Copies of this chain bind each other. A is one copy, B any other.
Amino acid sequence: MLADLREQVWQANFDLVKYGLVILTFGNVSGLDRKKGIMAIKPSGIPYSRMNPTDLVLIDLEGKVVEGKLNPSSDTSTHLALYRAFPDIGGVSHAHSEYATAFAQACREIPCLGTTHADHFNGPVPVTRHLTLVEVRDDYEANTGKVIAERFAGLKPLETPSVLVAGHGPFSWGGSAGEAVKNSLVLEKIAKMAILTGLVNPKIESLPDHLLAKHYLRKHGPQATYGQAKGPAPRPDSLVRKRSHR
């Protein structure tokens, strides 16, 4: 059942390892078949070297296991909450990668300091509030998804495809499991660059808005010029005004 989705999500989980974003059995990636409303997700605590596509667990959006003998990732409820809150996403990736996790632990957003960031995130990468004692006790993983969704009020999830959960680590997403993992990788890279930038010049401010918009729009939206689907160059000055989240 859903062999293609299993294969994609299985590959995406391995990419987390290949990119150096996880050790041991840390990290988990899922992908969603939005039509059928079924998610494939990594099983909990299984070493990557022994994991096969058939070990993935299929779960519907209400959290019912549809197929699979193994326990799903302990973060399953967070993935489900994100799919429900963000109707355009098709993949979620979670890794305790070192530099992004440092920002999450520091409870600080990652400011947009350069065009590498602007090429992928249309503004700073936000950080959630801490969960309350009751939220932790009663349904921790689902409430993690809830505080992420709460933080994204007014933001477009696919324009800022990552979040830092305070005291925990990053979640990334995208159109597919593979895109979600790529966003995890880029997030780690820009988090590292942001820390290094702070070492060179602690007083540096965010990139000017017009440069952020220019780079973001070279790669995204109907007027993107990056890659192999050319269009006319966008006008960044007019687009700056549309962005509501800075």
Using a CB–CB cutoff of 8 Å, the interface residues on chain A facing chain B are 19, 23-24, 26, 43-46, 70-71, 74, 96, 98-99, 101-108, 113-116, 130-131, 133, 136-137, 140, 167-169, 182, 185-186, 189, 192-201, 204, 207-208, 210-211, 214, 218, 225-228, 230, 233, 235-237
A40 smallest CB distance to B (angstroms) = 18
Q: CA–CA, A156 to B44, complex, Å?
A: 26
> By the criterion CB–CB under 8 Å, are B133 and A210 in contact?
yes
- Known contacts A74-B225, A210-B137; is-contact A193 B45 (Cβ 8 Å): no
- Known contacts A107-B201, A114-B104; is-contact A137 B235 (Cβ 8 Å): yes
Name the residue in A102, A108, A116, A218 with the highest tally of chain B Cβ atoms < 10 Å from its Cβ. A102
Q: CA–CA, A245 to B70, complex, Å?
A: 35
> By the criterion CB–CB under 8 Å, are B130 and A208 in contact?
yes
> By the criterion CB–CB under 8 Å, are A114 and B101 in contact?
yes
Name the residue in A114, A131, A201 with the highest tally of chain B Cβ atoms < 10 Å from its Cβ. A114
> By the criterion CB–CB under 8 Å, are B113 and A199 in contact?
no
Q: CA–CA, A218 to B200, complex, Å?
A: 30
Tell which of B106, B137, B228 touches A71, judged by Cβ atoms closer than 8 Å.
Answer: B228
- Known contacts A23-B189, A98-B192; is-contact A228 B70 (Cβ 8 Å): yes
